[in-house]
Amino acid sequence: MKILICGKGGCGKSSVTALLAGELEKRGYKVIVVDNDESNFGLHSQLGMGLPKDFALHFGGKRMVAEKLLASKKGGRFSVFREGLRASDIPKDYMSKKGGISLLAIGKIRDFGEGCACPFNALSADFLRMLTLSKDEFALVDTDAGIEHFGRGVEAGCDLLLMVIDPSRESIRLAEKVNKIAENVSKPLYYVLNKTDEETARVLLDSVDQSKVISVIPADKKVFRNCLVGEALDFELKGIRELADFLESWENE
Ligand SMILES: Nc1ncnc2c1ncn2[C@@H]1O[C@H](COP(=O)(O)OP(=O)(O)O)[C@@H](O)[C@H]1O
Ligand SMILES: [Mg+2]
């Protein structure tokens, strides 16, 4: 099952991704985490891993990714991967690994004036569309802030969209937008409320489509502290267990 994790900047996408990866691993799944955020460098630390080499380098870097994708166009579709691509086909040099969790980073913007991240999103869209998973594998795709990646089709290869909502007006507004996008692209959408307390959870539940809320994660000192000092989020949280329960039952439906 491939899950796209989205939401506004700082709402907790990467934290939820790392905690969920750990929870699914504990339940015996193999997890491939796809870092689709070209600007931020936090996810590998949250997973307790080193930063992997950009996958885009495997194709010769960002510009070559665009050229190779265009050159590969066949019958209206383009792909630099073969049908039935498996996670195990990815060269080991481009993966960080810890136990049953692997991390693949599509590409990072490192220099001022380097240009846009469109080729990274196109590569990511192609990769996720072609990636074939078995029953015991999950792919978690951690995205950049906002909705730019939707316009590039990154969601097309995913089975389910998970939006992380923090207690802010921007998140509530964005939830409506993402809801419309999900309808347009015919993908199931669910919400995770994050960084809440009793009062803010109530306000959020009154402000978004409650039937889509599958987990509520309180503001947690340990999450905040570990992110601050760059330590792994390798502990359990009730809200994350509930999230994993939901995904497991959804997968088995
Ligand atoms: N449940 C939580 N409780 C406390 N702090 C959190 C929680 N989730 C995320 N954070 C904090 O919010 C900040 C942004 O989190 P991050 O996961 O990097 O967000 P995003 O990937 O959406 O930009 C970090 O400092 C992180 O520690
Ligand atoms: Mg992030």
pLDDT in tens, 39-72: 898 999 999 999 999 999 999 999 999 999 989 8
Check residue 31 and give its pLDDT.
98
- Ligand 1 is surrounded, with C-beta below 6 A, by 7, 9-15, 42, 194-195, 217, 219-220, 223-224, 227
Kindly tell me if the per-residue pLDDT of 102 is higher than 90: yes
Given a cut of 80, is residue 170 above it in pLDDT?
yes
Q: What is the pLDDT of residues 178-207, one digit of tens each?
A: 999 999 999 999 999 999 999 999 999 999
Pocket test for ligand 1, best of 34, 163, 224, 225 (most atoms within 8 A of CB): 224
| CA pair distance 141, 13, nearest whole angstrom | 10
Ligand 2 midpoint to CA 42 (Å): 7
CA of 226 to the centre of ligand 1 (A): 10
- Among all bound ligands, the one having the nearest atom to the CA of 166 is 1
Q: Which has the minimum average pLDDT: 146-160, 161-175, 198-212?
A: 146-160
Average pLDDT along the chain: 94
If DSSP codes are grouped into helix, strand and coil, which group holds residue 36? Answer: strand
79 pLDDT higher than 80: yes
Structural domain span for residue 213 = 2-252
Question: How far, in Å, from the CA of 222 to the mean position of ligand 1?
Answer: 11
Query: Rounded to the nearest 10 degrees, how much is the dihedral formed by the CA atoms of 185, 196, 166, 46?
Result: -90
Question: Which CATH number does the domain housing residue 158 bear?
Answer: 3.40.50.300
d(CA 201, CA 66): 43
> Quick one: pLDDT at residue 110?
82
Asked if pLDDT for residue 137 goes beyond 80, the answer is: yes
Predicted TM-score of the model (pTM): 0.96
The alpha carbon of 94 and the centre of ligand 2 are apart by a number of angstroms equal to: 19
Number of domains in the chain: 1
Spatial neighbors of 17 by CB under 8 A, at least 6 apart, are 5, 33, 43, 46, 140, 142
pLDDT surpassing 90 at residue 131? yes
DSSP state of 85: B
**Mutation to probe ligand 1, out of 4, 5, 14, 15 (largest number of atoms < 8 A from CB):** 15
C-alpha span between 88 and 49 (Å, rounded): 19
For residue 75, pLDDT over 80 is answered with: no
pLDDT band at 114 (very low <50, low <70, confident <90, very high): confident
Greater pLDDT, 152 or 11: 11
The rounded distance, in Å, linking the Cα atoms of 128 and 108 is 18
